[in-house]
Amino acid sequence: LAINSAEEIQNLSKRLNPEFQEQVAKLADDLDVDQSFNPVAGKKTGDIDIETGFPVGEVKNKARMIEKVDEKYNGDFSQLTDGIRTRIVVETPTEEIMVAKRIAEKFPSVDGERILMNKSGYLDRKLNVQFTGKNGETVIGEIGIITRPMLDGAQKAHPIYEAFRKANFGLSPTATPIQIRMEGL
């Protein structure tokens, strides 16, 4: 399926999101771990996003899709890997490994392994999964695995992250770290 616009990928994501969230919630329940969502644009997790009709963080907003595709994928919307997304909250590294293994057993996956963003200290593990709905449509989604303390910290810091990202959108790829820092401030 060729995806040529934010509207197309968002519509596909909205069609498949209910099934995706249901299947991930069942997996989380089976493993006795919690599911959570990404904070978005200062909105509270759990609120309904007016644009998507789903809880905040489940389906990516069009404006952010466009921004991300322009930044990372040279305008190719078919490369977007988080039109639908969720998080699973773990308490221990053993749980993280177990959850990642079960996700990979359930969905064709690319496991990004554990990533530490050195400057911010943010740490999580993201798996991009191929999700196929009952209607036969397929989309790539994202399941983040995060510890509870990191989730709590991320929710508090997300407004700062969004402000920094917006301030730096369009900044030259050759910008020096000092220029980026000054623009962020």
Task: Give DSSP secondary structure letters for 84-136.
Answer: BEEEEEESSHHHHHHHHHHHHHHS-EEEEEEEEETTTTEEEEEEEEEEE-TTS
Element at 16 (helix H, strand E): helix 6-31
Say what the pLDDT of residue 114 is. Answer: 80
Say what the pLDDT of residue 174 is. Answer: 62
Cα 177 vs. chain centroid, distance in angstroms?
25
Say what the pLDDT of residue 152 is. Answer: 72
* Of 130, 128, 119, the residue nearest 161 (C-alpha): 119
Q: What is the pLDDT of residues 141-183, one digit of tens each?
A: 999 998 887 777 666 665 665 565 555 555 555 666 566 556 5
Q: What is the pLDDT of residues 117-127, one digit of tens each?
A: 666 666 789 99
pLDDT: is 169 or 24 the higher one?
24
Say what the pLDDT of residue 156 is. Answer: 66
pLDDT: is 121 or 185 the higher one?
121
Say what the pLDDT of residue 127 is. Answer: 95
pTM for the model stands at 0.79
Helices and strands, counts by H and E, the chain: 5, 5
Cα 176 vs. chain centroid, distance in angstroms?
27
Q: What is the pLDDT of residues 68-114, one digit of tens each?
A: 899 889 999 999 999 999 989 999 889 999 999 999 999 999 998 78
